[in-house]
Chain A
Amino acid sequence: MTAVLERPAPPAPRLRRDRRRWAWGLGALALVGWALAGSGLFTGPVLNPAGTGQVGRFLGAAVRPELGAEFLGVVAGSTLVTVAYAVLGAGLAVLIGALGAVPASRTTWGRRRTGWLLTRGGLALPRGLHEAVWGLLLVNVLGLDPWVGVLAIAVPYGAITAKVFADLLDEVPRGAYRALLAAGAGRGTAALYGLLPAAAGGLLSYSFYRLECAVRSAVVLGLVGAGGLGYQLALSFTSLRWEQVWTTVYALALLCLVADVAGRAVRRRVAAPRPGPQRDPVLTGAVLAVLALTGWAVWYLALSPAALVSERTREQVAWVASAAWPPATDGDLLAAVWAASVETVRMSVLAVAFATTGAVALAGLAARPGRPAGPGRAALGVLTRVGLLLLRAVPPPVWALVLLFVLLPGVLPGALALGVYTLGVLGRLVGEAVEEADRRPGEALRAAGAPPAARWLYGSVPALAGPVLALALYRWEVVVRDTVLVGLLGAGGIGVLLSAATSSFDWPAVTTVLVAIVLLTVAVDLVGARARAALR
């Protein structure tokens, strides 16, 4: 009773927020409807049943992957390269993030907004381009140097990390910082001793999260020729050797699994530290292990900083820069860019709608049940989680080709390919959200005799809707960047234009398309941030 009385609910702001949510909800529905209308689903046939045999070949190969000793050796070696790229890429990204967080933080600029806005705007450029696009550009400057793989991860990740680090620092309670300032400390010192310690947990947690993501990105990089597992996968994929493709996919899935499990364990530890003043041995061990791994990776890839400033690199940068500037602005290209951008938005909306629906439908199965379950339920849960893992281990371009066998050409195969891949990622995240959600409302409803449907509707949905939609919105930004990947295979969207421009070495057009991609990402980013704010 007191608990109820103690929680006053101010009615006025609530109503306003709800109205805002209505607007966003209706807007989202309209957007999905528009995307569906443009997909060709209602205007003609989209299925190509004759292609089921080809898909059967792809799926059949899953149970008989290539297991020859020689190939397994190649895959093992490639796995090490992928790990090295991921570790170095993420490590460098954290370093860039730590340095970049200073100019990107509101605390640094105080009331002077201009500098802050400029930095944030500047970060949008590296952030807006996909790792694979960075890889493509860097190959043109650095050739076959392993720096290509490392930088292609570190540049976009560094920009994201700088933004997140800056936000973390800005959100830390300011008491200690202000006290130090008042006592006469300099701003740098005050930040170092007043802000950093309080933010350390969040920073560490996010760094490990970046490492997890870097593993998946390191794979995609292989597709542009930077080496590692993705590279082997691309080689097997161009000649449609599905048995080999599956071996690489399994290796990849294993790697993702290890990264996910380890990263999650560390992040849980950070989120819920053990009481007592002792150092947490698991966290210390994890940090030291990553540092050791970094040293090994530098040695394994034979990374030489001199390559970055060599004369050849400077020459190539000058060559690319002079070829790519100024951007092409002819009307035909701009019209094509506009049409492709619209198609990209359409594809991304379809993909996210598909992935969100699927993730919500599977969430109950993917989440580990709170109370002990029967063997059947447990097996189903494991099966779902393994299925989701495989969905995100097969890169989108492979999904695009496989889906192209059974779907007629158009927006749909590309959108679904991204949707299937995103389902793999989102399914896991939503499952985790379900695990972490408060189970008490559901239990209370059960005790009161409510049927399962009502328990779900009134016990789970209200608590989960916000986090799930926020995750979906966040993935939307990622999917817009990912459309470039399926476009490289001609499955629609702005990637098709990029692929055409890069393969004909029309550098001014490449610049135009890249600018369009960055603008598109920024726009989606802004809309997503607004929508998430309305959900909060």
Chain B
Amino acid sequence: MRPARAARSGGPASGSVLLPHLSRRTLLAGTGAAVAAVLAGCSGTSTAAPGSPGPLRIGAIPDQDPEVLQRQFRTVAASLAAALDLETEYRPVTDYAAAVSLFRTGDLDLVWFGGLTGVQARLQTRGAVPIAQRDIDEEFHSVFVVNTATGLAPADDLRPLAGLRFTYGSETSTSGRLMPAYYLREAGVDPGGFPGGPGFSGSHDATIALVASGTYQAGVLNEQVWRSRSEDGEVDPAVTAYARTPAYHDYHWLLGPGAVERFGDDLAGRLTGWFTGLSADDPDDAAVLELFGAGSFIPTEAANYRQIEEIGRDLGLVS
């Protein structure tokens, strides 16, 4: 930032005085200490014993309150570890694309993906298998919300939205971007149109806040988040629901090939068995189900997300 000063201070006056200060002795001693410290640091980082498979690393796309996610996935990780007798670890991620990349690199083994991110991850990671989804994921919805100043009353017609400043959520969110864009186009509204182009708020909560402020007059988000924020009374009264999309498949658990290699071929089956076996009658299981806002987990397969993949290709989100 101040090259001028640096250049000046490198002049002969300061240099000749500094010369004895940075004598070879100091330099060598310092370098030696640093090298020793680095070596000491490195030798301490021996990896896990070759025989042990290490922990099953669980992750999730960051589409909700991180604190809730933290609680949710710590609970799952603990219950799973106890039930299947394996070591688990939850690793929070800040960004949708990072979750997909980390699944590809094998840093995450079992990830709670959205519909689109799940497809992206599966296409990039050969051997990835969908494990389970919630009962509500079979029929998931998005909610279009509007600022009350627009004067729009709830309706099924999406066309009035075309003239409003509009924001999606995260760019690769299934419920905050992909499916709403699809249904907008079905209704004859250009999903990339809108005055000034659509915005990407980055998260469902930011969508609510931006529509409440009126910066964007309308937006779209995950119905589950909208419902939970409404029930908690956290939604600004300036935001109101306008329309609800038809149902589509959304969230699911995806297992990476690396974990199967480490834990054995039956891992996918055991995981599906555990998830689908969770029962609301058992108090421990109920805690997990409640955190996920689900009645139960049900099996799923790659074919369920074919529509999402096609729409993703159409919109240029899957390549």
Contact = CB atoms under 8 A, between A and B. Distances in A.
Contacts of A154: none
A2 interface: no
A199 B101 contact: no
B209 A405 contact: yes
A398 B42 CA distance: 36
B318 A168 contact: no
Interface in B232-269: 236, 238
B45 A204 contact: no
B304 interface: no
A239 B65 contact: yes
A303 interface: yes
Main secondary structure of the interface of A (DSSP, over half): helix
Contact of A504 (B9, B14, B210, B319): B319
Given A171-B7, A275-B17, A303-B41, A429 B2 contact: yes
A404 B215 contact: yes
Nearest to A413: B215
B298 interface: no
A239 B2 contact: no
Interface in A133-184: 136, 139-144, 164, 167-168, 171-173
Nearest to B173: A503
Given A270-B14, A294-B37, A490-B201, A209 B2 contact: yes
Given A164-B6, A239-B65, A279 B98 contact: no
A242 to B, nearest CB: 10
Interface residues of A, number: 93
Contact of A500 (B98, B171, B209): B171
A467 B95 CA distance: 40
B232 to A, nearest CB: 13
Contacts of A197: 15-16, 18-19, 22
Interface size range of chain B in the complex? 35 or more
A106 interface: no
A474 to B, nearest CB: 6
Interface in B1-23: 1-12, 14-22
Nearest to A319: B104
B12 A302 contact: no
Nearest to A400: B202
Given A206-B6, A271-B5, A143 B38 contact: no
A231 B22 CA distance: 38
B179 to A, nearest CB: 16
Contacts of B14: 201-202, 270-273
A209 B6 contact: yes
A270 B199 contact: no
Contact of A406 (B62, B98, B213): B213
B213 A53 contact: yes
Interface stretch (B26-34, B75-83, B138-146, B274-282): B26-34
Given A231-B94, A404-B215, A201 B18 contact: yes
A385 interface: no
Contacts of A299: 37, 40-41, 44
Most buried by A among B10, B197, B214: B10
B55 interface: no
Contacts of B213: 48, 50-51, 53-54, 404-406
A499 B171 CA distance: 8
B9 A201 contact: yes
Contact of A238 (B62, B107, B171): B62
B9 A295 contact: no
Interface string A402-429: 0011111110000000000000010001
A18 interface: no
B203 interface: yes
B202 A143 contact: no
Nearest to B17: A273
B229 to A, nearest CB: 11
A31 interface: no
B303 to A, nearest CB: 22
A124 interface: no
A470 interface: yes
B65 to A, nearest CB: 4
B6 A143 contact: no
B216 interface: yes
Given A201-B18, A405-B215, A503-B97, A144 B91 contact: yes
A204 B22 contact: yes
Nearest to A236: B66
Contacts of A489: 200, 202
A291 B34 contact: yes
A202 B9 contact: yes
Nearest to A49: B214
Contacts of B133: none
Interface stretch (A281-289, A353-361, A447-455): A281-289
A224 interface: yes
A169 to B, nearest CB: 9
A126 to B, nearest CB: 18
A292 interface: yes
Contact of A295 (B6, B41, B106, B236): B41
Contacts of B65: 239, 241
Most buried by B among A168, A213, A295: A295
A198 interface: yes
A471 B149 CA distance: 45
B202 A470 contact: no
B160 interface: no
B212 A54 contact: yes
Most buried by A among B100, B106, B209, B316: B209
Contacts of A425: 1
B172 interface: yes
A70 B46 CA distance: 30
Given A225-B93, A408-B215, A292 B37 contact: yes
Interface string A42-61: 00000010110110000000
Contact of B66 (A167, A235, A470): A235
B297 interface: no
Contacts of A283: 21
A240 interface: yes
A344 to B, nearest CB: 16
The 6 tightest CB contacts between A and B, nearest first, are A295-B37, A202-B10, A51-B213, A298-B41, A143-B107, A198-B15
5 contacts: A164-B6, A283-B21, A295-B34, A406-B215, A504-B120
Interface of A: 48, 50-51, 53-54, 136, 139-144, 164, 167-168, 171-173, 197-206, 209, 213, 222-225, 231, 234-236, 238-241, 267, 270-273, 275, 277, 279-280, 283-284, 287-288, 291-292, 294-296, 298-299, 302-305, 312, 316, 319, 401, 404-410, 425, 429, 467, 470-471, 474-475, 489-490, 499-500, 502-506
